[in-house]
Amino acid sequence: MGRSKTSKFYAKNKKSREKHSCDNSSGCDGKYAHSKAYKRKHAKLRAKLKCKKNQDVSKNKRGRWRCESLKINRGRGGGQKK
C-alpha cells in the first residue's frame, strides 16, 4: 500500500512535522496537555460530587463545581473559547 499525501508532506517538512507532533501529543502544550495535578483534582471532584459515567465536572459562572453532561460541557468548548 502506498503512502498518503499527508505522510509524504510531513516526511518532507520537518518544521510542520514537529508542530503536528506537538499539537497531537500530551507534551509541548498540545491539544491533549493537562497536568497530572489537573487530572487528579478533577478525578477527586468527580468522586466527591458523585458524577455519573456520562457526566463531567465543570465550573459554573459563580465558580462553583458541578456535575454536567459531557455533551453539554464539551460542546460549549471550554478550552477552545476565544
What pLDDT sits at residue 60?
Answer: 84
Cα–Cα distance for residue pair 39/47, rounded to 1 Å? 12
Taking the model in full, what pTM does it have?
A: 0.52
pLDDT exceeds cutoff 60 at 13: yes
CA nearest to 47, candidates 76, 39, 64: 39
What are the pLDDT digits (tens) for 35-74?
788 888 989 999 999 999 889 888 888 989 999 998 887 7
Cα–Cα distance for residue pair 67/24, rounded to 1 Å? 28
